[in-house]
């Protein structure tokens, strides 16, 4: 981290606070799945009734997109000046 010494430390500069944000996020996810057990839902598809379906879907979809994108680099990545030469 390129923290400059001539300026005051910000709240986000402290790794402890970043860890707090992460925990709040985890907490929010847990609460959202919890609500699912009590919420009656108008579903178009059967699997929508599974508690936490959207959460699991979002997590896996995000993960898979990043991993596929990362591996696409092996095929697609060229030097930055590839077209300029």
Residue 20 touching another protein (CB under 8 A): no
Residue 83 touching another protein (CB under 8 A): yes
Q: Is the dihedral of CA 19, 26, 24, 66 positive or negative?
A: positive
Site residues for another protein, window 22-41 (CB under 8 A)? 22, 25-26, 28-29, 32-33, 35-36, 39-41
Classify residue 52 by burial, with Cβ atoms within 10 Å: 0-12, 13-18, 19+: middle
| 12: CB partners within 8 A, 6+ apart | 18
DSSP label of 42: -
Could you tell me the two tokens for 18?
């970043």
User: Which residue from 5, 10, 15, 16 is in contact with another protein, where contact means CB under 8 A?
Assistant: 10
Residue 62 touching another protein (CB under 8 A): yes
Binding site for another protein (CB under 8 A): 1-4, 7, 10, 12-13, 22, 25-26, 28-29, 32-33, 35-36, 39-42, 44-45, 48, 52-70, 72-73, 76-84
């Amino acid at each position: 981290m390129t923290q400059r010494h001539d300026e005051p430390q910000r709240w986000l500069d402290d790794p402890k606070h970043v860890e707090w944000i992460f925990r709040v996020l985890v907490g929010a996810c847990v609460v959202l799945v919890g609500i699912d057990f009590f919420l009656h839902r108008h579903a178009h598809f059967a699997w929508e009734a599974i508690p936490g379906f959207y959460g699991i879907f979002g997590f896996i979809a995000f993960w898979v997109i990043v991993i596929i994108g990362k591996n696409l680099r092996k095929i697609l990545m060229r030097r930055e000046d590839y077209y300029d030469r």
